[in-house]
Amino acid sequence: MSPVMDDREPKKVQKACRKQYPDLVVRRMDVGDYIHGNVCIERKTALDFASSIRDGRLYSQVLAMRQFANPLIIMEGSYEDVRTNRYQDVSINEFIGAMADCCMLYKVPVLHCENNSQFARYADSLFRKADGETPEQKFTRVNKWKGNQELSCLLGIYGLGEKRARAILKQFDFRGLCEASVDDLMSVKGIGNKYAKAIKEVFK
């Protein structure tokens, strides 16, 4: 299924999106600006977002978009564009409040992008997810200290760090750590009472 774009969208935006989707269909749309599968995107500049708050369009738009499983707004720019525009009088509280309304009350997320090109990449990524594409790479946690159990255990103590851990292991092996007292551990440079007690909790 080819993505569809409203024909009232700027030509430069159409051009940016066609780079991602050469089969893009451009026609008049009643809801949203971009539709692909169950994804409906409303593209707004920050100024348009502010205008739609003031004239009430925003809430009728988000209500109509909810007929899709995945409706969202992608905003180009920021409140700074509104603040510096003499024709806009929407306050920062109104601006942020409207975004919160979209997300929390209407369940329509508001994403942010910098420009047309970035918007096209956003749309492409969202549409690919709509097509069922999932990341192929599986992420696994790699322990670079595998094989050194003492070091690995010490690095599990919040804030201790590798430098202190290695300093401790210069003075104590595994058995020594188990037998060392808090005072013994505090003899290591950089190890105070807090870390010494934390180490003893691990090596009992």
Tokens of 196: 């010494």
Q: Which CATH class is domain 149-202?
A: mainly alpha
Dihedral (Cα; 92, 94, 97, 98), 10-degree rounding: -120
Where in the chain do CATH 1.10.150.20 domains reside? 149-202
- Cβ burial of 96 (10 Å; 0-12, 13-18, 19+) is exposed
Which residues of the chain are in CATH 3.40.50.10130 domains? 4-130
Q: What is the pLDDT of residues 123-180, one digit of tens each?
A: 888 888 777 765 554 445 555 555 566 677 777 777 788 888 888 888 888 788 888 8
Sign of CA dihedral 158, 159, 163, 167: negative
Class of the CATH domain delimited by 4-130: alpha beta
Average pLDDT over residues 97-110: 93
Amino acid sitting at position 111 = L
Q: What is the pTM of this model?
A: 0.61
Please check whether residue 44 is in contact with residue 25, taking contact to mean a CB–CB distance below 8 angstroms.
no
Tell me which of 73 and 185 has the higher pLDDT: 73
13-23, pLDDT tens digit by residue?
888 778 778 88
User: How many CB atoms are located within 10 Å of the residue 167 CB?
Assistant: 14
Instruction: Using pLDDT thresholds of 50, 70 and 90, give the confidence band for residue 68.
Output: very high
